[in-house]
């Protein structure tokens, strides 16, 4: 520090440089014009936004694909309620830290296209005024049924009830998921396919083992019979080298079709 005040002038040079740079710097941050405006007034409910426009706004051109805000329920191609993945197991309801999910399980199972009959959520509400976007529900769901949306057009004129997203507001197709989180969606689908393939392979292997065991059993039985016959003919030739049937028969453990739905019983204080 030589001349008193020189430090201040140095600082001013920095601000001048930044001021000029704010017009010419390549990395300068600019303001994006808001892409969409509600034509007249806000919809009454958060779920009532014009679906197409709101969904278009949440794709990767407006929102980065990594961001998350509130959960949505996935369904595969087809009628939403025919292909919804959620089976109303209520794990997410129990695990949600601020307890903002409310589920009512259907009373009877429903046929799903391409899948066996399952329960479905008769009611599935998420109170987005309470939800803290933590993604715990996504993590605990064993059916890949719930994922994070990035739709941000949700403001309403009042906060009581209007911020409650009902099941039909939450249902979104897998295609939409690909649109908003392409990387995550393809990774998830790959994992699901891998798990399915592994399950099938295991099933096949189990079946094959069963078949083999049965064959071995019948073979050894036949051999034993032949042997008996041969013995009866008092002409013992070669000893049978097939192992006893029991040892090859792998205990046919049918892989559970659905993961366990009761991860913790003690902890859940109802």
Partner 1 sequence: MTVAAPNYELVQQDGLETSLLEVSMGPHHPSTHGVFRMDVKLDGETVVDLKPVFGYLHRNHEKLAENMSYLASMPFTDRLDYFNSMTNNWAYALAAEQLVEIEIPERAEYLRVIMSELTRLVNHVSLVGFFVNDLGALGTPLLYAFREREKILDLFEQASGARMMCNYFRFGGLRCDVPDGWLDRTREVVDRFPKFLDEYEKLLCENEIILSRTQGVGNLSKELAISAGITGPMLRASGVNYDIRKVDNYGIYERFKFRVPYSEGDVGDCYDRFMVRMLEMRESIGILRQALDGIENGPIMGNAGKVFKPQKSEAYGRVEAPKGELGFYLVADGTTQPYRYRVRPPSFINLTVLQDMCIGQQVADAVIILGSIDIVLGEVDR
**Which residues are near partner 1 by CB under 8 A?**
1, 4-8, 10-11, 13-15, 18, 29, 64, 66-68, 95-97, 132-136, 139, 148, 183, 263-264, 266-267, 269
Tokens of 78: 């087809």
What is residue 84's DSSP assignment? B
Choose among ligand SF4, partner 1, none what residue 119 binds, the Cβ cut-off being 5 to 8 Å by kind. Answer: none
Please provide the DSSP assignment of 95-159 as one string.
H-TT--EEEEE-SS-EEETTEEEE--EEEEEEETTT-----HHHHH-TTS-EEE--------S--
In the region spanning residues 59 to 88, those forming contacts with ligand SF4, defined by CB under 6 A, are: 71, 86-88
CA distance 226 to 217: 14
CA distance 233 to 87: 64
Q: Which member of 54, 103, 163, 216 binds ligand SF4 (CB under 6 A)?
A: 103
Alpha carbon 120 to its chain centroid, in Å, reads 16
Which among 11-19, 139-147, 201-209, 245-253 is the span making contact with ligand SF4, rule CB under 6 A? 139-147
Q: Which member of 16, 132, 198, 205 binds ligand SF4 (CB under 6 A)?
A: 132
- Residue nearer to partner 1 on the CB measure, 138 or 216: 138
- Residue nearer to ligand SF4 on the CB measure, 103 or 164: 103
Task: Examine residue 90 and tell whether it contacts ligand SF4 (CB under 6 A).
Answer: yes
Contact 137, 95 (CB under 8 A): yes
Work out how close the CB of 149 gets to partner 1 at its nearest, in angstroms, rounded to a whole number.
12
């Amino acid at each position: 520090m030589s001349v008193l005040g020189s430090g201040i002038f140095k600082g001013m040079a920095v601000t001048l440089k930044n001021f000029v740079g704010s017009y010419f710097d390549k990395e300068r941050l600019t303001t994006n014009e808001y892409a969409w405006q509600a034509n007249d007034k806000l919809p009454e409910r958060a779920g009532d936004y014009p679906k197409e426009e709101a969904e278009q706004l949440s794709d990767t051109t407006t929102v980065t694909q990594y961001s998350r805000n509130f959960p949505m329920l996935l369904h595969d191609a087809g009628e939403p309620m025919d292909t919804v993945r959620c089976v109303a197991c209520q794990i997410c309801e129990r695990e949600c830290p601020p307890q903002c999910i409310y589920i009512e399980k259907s009373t009877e199972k429903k046929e799903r296209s391409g899948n066996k009959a399952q329960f479905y959520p008769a009611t599935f509400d998420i109170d987005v005024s309470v939800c803290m976007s933590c993604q715990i529900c996504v993590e605990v769901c064993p059916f890949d049924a719930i994922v994070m949306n990035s739709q941000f057009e949700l403001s309403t004129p009042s906060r009581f009830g209007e911020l409650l997203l009902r099941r039909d507001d939450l249902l979104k197709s897998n295609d939409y998921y690909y649109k908003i989180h392409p990387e995550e969606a393809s990774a998830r689908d790959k994992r699901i396919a891998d798990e399915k393939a592994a399950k099938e392979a295991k099933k096949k292997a189990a079946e094959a083992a069963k078949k083999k065991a049965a064959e071995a059993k019948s073979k050894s039985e036949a051999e034993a019979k032949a042997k008996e016959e041969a013995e009866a003919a008092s002409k013992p030739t070669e000893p049978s080298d097939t192992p006893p049937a029991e040892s090859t028969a792998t205990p046919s453990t049918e892989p559970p079709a659905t993961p366990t739905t009761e991860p913790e019983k003690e902890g859940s204080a109802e």
